[in-house]
Amino acid sequence: MSLAFDDYGRPYIILRDQGQKKRMKGLEAYKSNILAAKAVANTLSSSLGPKGMDKMLVSPDGDVSVTNDGATIVEKMEIQHPTAKLLVELSQSQDAEIGDGTTGVVVLAGKLLEQALTLLDKGIHPLKISDGFDRACDVAIKHLETISEEIDIQANEHEALIQAACTALGSKVVSKRKRELGKIAVTAVLDVADLARRDVNLDLIKIQTKTGGSVEDTRLISGILIDKDMSHPQMPKEVKEAKICLLTCPFEPPKPKTKHNINISSAEDYKKLYLQEQQYFVDMVKLVKDSGANIALCQWGFDDEANHLLLQNELPAVRWVSGTDVELIAMATGARIIPRFQEITPEKLGKAGSVKEVQFGTSNERMLVIENCQCTKAVTILIRGGSQMIVDEAKRSIHDAICVIRNLIKDNRIVYGGGSAELACAIQVLQYADEVSSVEQYAIRSFADALEGIPCCLADNCGLNPITSVAQAKARQLQESNPRIGIDCMELGTTDMKEQRIYETLSSKKQQIQLATQVVKMILKIDDVIAPDDY
Amino acid sequence: MDIVGNVLPQVLKDEATEDKGEMARLQSFVGAIAVADLVKTTLGPKGMDKILKPTGPGQEMTHITVTNDGATILKSMYVENPAAKILIEISKTQDEEVGDGTTTVAVLAGELLREGEKLIQKRIHPQHVIAGWRIARDVALKTLRDISSENDIESQEFHNDLIKIARTTLSSKLITSDRDYFADLCVKAVLRLKGSSNLDYIQIIKLPGGTIRDSYLDDGFILKKQITIGCKRRIENAKILVANTAMDYDKIKIYGTKVKVNSMDKVAEIEAAEKEKMKHKVDKILKFQPTVFVNRQLIYNYPEQLLADSGITVIEHADFEGMERVAAATGAEILSTFDAPERRDQVLGHCDLIEEIMIGEEKMIKFTGCKKNEACTIVLRGSSIHILDEVDRSIHDVLCVLITTVKNRRVVWGGGNSEMQMAAACEEEAKKVQGKQALAIEAYARALRQIPTIICDNGGYDSAELIQNFKVELQKGNLTSGLNMNDGTVGDMKELGIKECMRVKEQAVMAASEAAELIMRVDDIVKCAPRKRERA
């Protein structure tokens, strides 16, 4: 940053290390910020829609991941530019709140910024632009609600849910099996859903991955799968009518928190101590056994002696079960997590139909399946695939689908996809612009243009001519006043998205438009960037 | 700078790179095809081996690996190219899942991408290529399942099938000249498992010396340990106690304990108590009345002597795996506490004979006539450790394939027969499909056909002519024809007895298609700045 000097040649220093800082002001700052954010949006725009492409990301350690999920892409790109980082956060907040539409939200923000750039060139004040965007956003959201439709999620064996899941899965690498995977996701969510309260606890759905086989081999296990095996190789591999004792204390002599010393000063004490030690193990196993438990799951390790005593007492046990698994098992089987051996009582045991060890492939890897749990149903989706990258991507895709289904259970209003909802909003916003007399009308018109950018982008990715197809769809929407006309991405011969059954949740669309507008407003308010010189 | 000349701000970190569109695609194609080309020469019975020389400091420089196994080659390579990494990844998964076909899967994925690249150059959108591949893949898998046959697990035919499959798998390995011998050996070992898929029970011991022919299958179980000095070297009708317990000194497990004494006498007392404690433990062990005591941990002289005095043969320091195998083979329980001698009959293992044997220069302990007769040992001999390592890998491949076959039971004809049939089915399908996808289906067929072509090329035969003749034979309806790599003709696989496991092929086709699709879908590669490593 440049320095000003006084009469004696001494610099006026206002900021610390002023000489090493860089400053951008006014229009220059706006443009630089917008261009950086647009660069991120451009990278994502080719991932939008059913024919969108994937991105290959190489991590700092050289690990490769291939993905189509917007939030994952921007997260792994390790973006450095501060304004571009805002878009990363934008995508992540969409992911956290809704779980799907993470690409769409960034692309929309990019289109809005593009429009803002031309408005800035026209000399319109940034605050006027953001004001206009804000008003346009309200109109769009209102219109979305009017064109939304309620669907009956129960009808036709949850057909609507499956279709919505398919829409979410359609853009991913697993799309060839979208129907099967969609069904798996729907069954999983419905199994754990509380339909009366319209709530779904996603913690009850565990997604476990395992390389090998093919994506087709992905299946739903109505129980919990944990990546552990029995602590002793000779313990039984299957326990029926399991009564589970869930421990969070190790099978070891207790370690009091208070610092203490035991001093041994005679041979007698030494012998006593030895007996005491043996007694600990015997007591522990006895306490577990007496409670009626026939399997013990422990978050910690076992001493060799304890391990053998467990085997000798025919009490299968599993050690080093992860904390999240312990909680999940507790929820599903109705077990109470027991922190001390003294507190084991029969009531605290969890019940499950069976616990058994299963094996995969030629490598000697085993996992435990806990089935027919007593309390809430917990389910596991076991994802298989040819390589680590595929199972990782499949996991992200299934997560998206599950989120969509959950959102539909919470709020069963939908809008139609294929860019039709955006197009309908654009038309509405454009009409509204004519009613506004101030400068904001330019911004409002630009907002409509940006909304049209989404179907444009979709058409482009599908290899259609974006301008003709969007113009055609828009014309038909106006003529037939039918907000369901969109882009025929899959070349099925109809542009009516109701016939194609492309469902998106209303909440996701609303959130996309709101979040994108907010971020754009935020970027438009920055007129001064002070940063260290080295970037 | 962008197209209009604006200076773009730097979005990614320094040293990070981003390639888009054609550049990204080109990069992945080049990388994947290069990897496939690298392993391609090892394919088939006339495939060549590779020498792998480790990089890095120290002695590793001197230890080289000679191998023909795709997964081993790919695993030891350090590649930068992300697409190449994907190919390596599927090869590894293939290894874990079915154990063989690791080269095939990488080559098939590479060939698919090579064909895919040509289609892209013809301005066909990658998504159309993928759509076509998906159709082709389903057709290919269906064909594969249709042409496979199944035999009853107990039948003689199934047994013969297993031997044929083992021979086919071995024919591409170093020990191809002795393949009949090894095929028989492996099949016997696998059949002992009686349908269980636990490869742990088959132990492979490598000992340099002798020739490959001197390798043999021992129906007993061999532990690579020595019997402690002063014990009997041969025990008949042995009762074995397998333990995992500390026999050096018992450390006190109660937290915060400290021994504090004020005179020398007390030290002696404590010492005596310690000794007594050990003696107590030994006494408890003696109550089980074993004749052999195997411990995973170290045994100190004192307890060792006590045990030896009671006429018990002591084997110390057995490793975890060895111990589990002993326990499994002899039906023993692994003990860590010794308070229940009344359970003697349940916990003690049994075998007819334990003796110390010499193989080459090494002493080992052999357990024969075990209670549970599943475990067995394959002793491999060979003139150098490199050869032994390679034979070990080959045997491992064969065992994996055999176990997979026992589980799945479906077999297909080898010699490129299944690939050619799948290719023919894809071509047939392509005629029925409208649109650009048909081109991709044809490309898929060509890629499948590349596998037998490469096998021919590796054998030094005229692949163009052979493959065409092969095609004609299949067209004529000789559905068992295949490549005869011994004299470079198209022969009848039924006569030659070349069979392959269907599951291996199925997995290879599935994994290769998935990987090719994954790479094909990429249009943007972002490489993050490499992590700065502190120099030690």
* Active-site choice (B65, B397, B404, B457): B397
From the list B65, B72, B103, B143, the catalytic residue is B103
pTM as predicted: 0.82
Contact A54 B522 (CB under 8 A): yes
Across the interface, whether the CB atoms of B96 and A79 are under 8 A apart is answered no
Q: Would you say B290 and B314 are in contact if contact means Cβ atoms under 8 Å apart?
A: no
Q: Which residue in chain A is spatially nearest to B525 when comparing CA positions?
A: A56
φ, ψ at A309 (rounded to 5°): -60, -40
CA angle A76/A78/A83 to nearest 5° reads 120
- Residue pair B418/B144 in contact (Cβ under 8 Å)? The answer is yes
pLDDT classification of A449: cutoffs 50, 70, 90: very high
Q: Are the Cβ atoms of A267 and B266 closer than 8 angstroms?
A: yes
Which candidate in A387, A388, A529 is best for mutational testing of the B interface (most B CBs within 10 A)?
A: A387
Query: What is the distance between the alpha carbons of residues B228 and B282, in angstroms, rounded to a whole number?
Result: 16
Contacts of B254 in chain A (CB under 8 A): 253, 262, 273, 276-277, 280
CB-based burial, A147-156: b 16+ in 10 Å, e otherwise:
bbeebebeee
Terminal Cα distance for chain A, rounded: 13
Residue B218 CA: distances (Å) to CA of A111, A434, B185, B325: 72, 92, 10, 15
Please state whether beta strands A64-67 and B149-150 pair in parallel, antiparallel, or not at all (unpaired).
unpaired
Q: What is the mean pLDDT of chain A?
A: 84
Name which of B90, B259, B260 is nearest A386 (Cβ-Cβ). Answer: B90
Mean pLDDT (chain B) is 82
**Residue-level length of chain A:** 535
Q: How far does A307 lie from chain B, in Å, by closest CA?
A: 8
CA distance, residue B307 to nearest chain A CA (Å): 21
CB contact under 8 A, B9 and A36: yes
Does the annotation mark A103 as catalytic? yes
Instruction: Search chain A and give the residue with CA nearest B339.
Output: A309
Contact assessment for residue B387 and residue B398, using Cβ atoms and an 8 Å cutoff: no
Question: Which one from B72, B102, B143, B330 is the annotated catalytic residue?
Answer: B102
| Mean predicted confidence (pLDDT) in A122-135 | 90
Query: What does the DSSP 8-state code read for residue A302?
Result: B
* Rounded-to-integer distance, Cα A398 and Cα A403, Å: 9
Burial degree of A419 (CB within 10 A; 0-12, 13-18, 19+): buried
Give B208's DSSP letter.
Answer: E
Picking from A55, A215, A259, the nearest residue to B514 by CB comes out as A215
**In the prediction, which pLDDT does A249 show?**
81
Q: Tell me whether strands A21-25 and A54-58 are parallel, antiparallel or unpaired.
A: unpaired
The proportion of chain A whose per-residue pLDDT surpasses 70, expressed as a percent, equals 97
What is the ipTM for the molecules in this complex? 0.77
Residue in A173, A277, A312 nearest the CB of B517? A173
Give B133 or A211, the one with higher predicted confidence.
Answer: B133
Tell me if residue A7 is catalytic. no
Higher pLDDT, B175 or B421: B421
Res B536 pLDDT > 60? no
Residue with the larger pLDDT of the pair B258 and B60? B258
CA atoms within 13 A on the CB side of A173: 31
Band (pLDDT 50/70/90 cuts) for residue B272 is confident
> What's the mean pLDDT in A270-279?
79
Band of pLDDT at residue B57, cut at 50, 70 and 90: low
What value does the mean pLDDT take over residues B63-89? 84
Nearest chain B Cα distance for residue A242, angstroms: 23
DSSP B57: S
Contacts of A270 by beta carbon, 8 Å cutoff, 6+ apart = A264, B259, B270, B273, B274, B277
Q: Is residue A301 predicted with pLDDT exceeding 90?
A: no
Quick one: tokens of B329?
A: 């083979």
Tell me whether residues A262 and B254 touch, CB distance under 8 A.
Answer: yes
Local confidence band at A429 (pLDDT 50, 70, 90 cut-offs)? very high
How much is the pLDDT for B61?
A: 56
Q: Which residues in chain B have Cβ-Cβ distances shorter than 8 Å to A249?
A: none
Residue type, A324: T
d(CA B292, CA B445): 62
Q: Mark whether B102 is an active-site residue.
A: yes
Strand order in the sheet with A365-373: A223-226, A365-373, A350-360, A238-247, A295-298, A317-318
Rg, C-alpha atoms of chain B: 30
Q: What pLDDT, in 10s, does the model give residues B298-346?
A: 777 777 777 777 778 888 777 767 777 777 777 777 777 777 777 777 7
> What pLDDT, on a 0 to 100 scale, did the predictor assign at position B56?
64
Lowest mean pLDDT among A114-118, A272-276, B146-150: A272-276
* Catalytic residue list contains A102: yes
Chain A residues close to B199, C-beta within 8 Å: 362, 364
Nearest CA in chain A to B246: A304
A451-493 pLDDT per residue, tens: 999 999 988 888 788 899 899 998 998 888 888 888 888 777 7
Residue B4 predicted with pLDDT over 70: no
Q: Which residue of B has its CA nearest to A214?
A: B510
In A480-525, which ranges are E strands? 503-505
Cα–Cα distance list, B33 to A193, A277, A308, B102, B519 (Å): 47, 63, 53, 16, 11
pLDDT of residue B282: 81
Give the pLDDT band (50/70/90) at residue B386: confident
Of A513, A524, A519, residue with least CA distance to A454: A513
Residues of A within 8 A of B523 (CB-CB) are 46, 53-55
CA distance B492 to chain A (A): 31
> Nearest-CA distance from B14 to chain A in Å?
8
Cβ B204 vs Cβ B395: under 8 Å = yes
Tokens 């990658």: give the residue: B126
User: With an 8 Å Cβ cutoff, are B510 and A387 in contact?
Assistant: no
Q: Report pLDDT digits (tens) over B173-197.
A: 777 778 888 888 888 888 877 766 6
Q: How many CB pairs under 8 A join A and B?
A: 254
Q: How confident is the model at residue A242 (pLDDT cuts 50, 70, 90)?
A: confident
Query: What residues in A contact B106, CB-CB < 8 Å?
Result: none
Residues forming beta bridges with residue A188, ordered by sequence position:
none
Instruction: Tell me the pLDDT tens digit for each residue of B477-515.
Output: 888 888 888 888 888 888 888 888 888 898 899 889 988
Q: Residues with Cβ < 8 Å from A514, sequence gap 6 or more?
A: A137, A141
> pLDDT value at position A535?
47
Q: Say if the Cβ atoms of A55 and B523 lie within 8 Å.
A: yes
What's A313-370 look like in SS3?
CCCCEECCCCHHHHHHHHHHHCCCCECCHHHCCHHHCEEEEEEEEEEECCCCEEEEEE
Closest CA to A40 of A125, A99, A96, A114: A114
Provide the 10 A C-beta neighbour count for residue A122: 11
Q: What pLDDT digit, counting tens, does each position of A44-71 carry? A: 888 888 888 888 888 888 888 888 888 8
Predicted pLDDT of residue B1: 47
Highest mean pLDDT among A277-286, B33-42, B63-72, B525-534: B33-42
Q: Do A263 and B255 make contact, defined as CB atoms within 8 angstroms?
A: no
The helix/strand/coil state of B76 is coil
Neighbours of B194 (CB within 10 A): 10
Catalytic residue, chosen from B69, B95, B100, B161, is B69
Measured between beta carbons, the chain A residues lying within 8 angstroms of B403 are 362
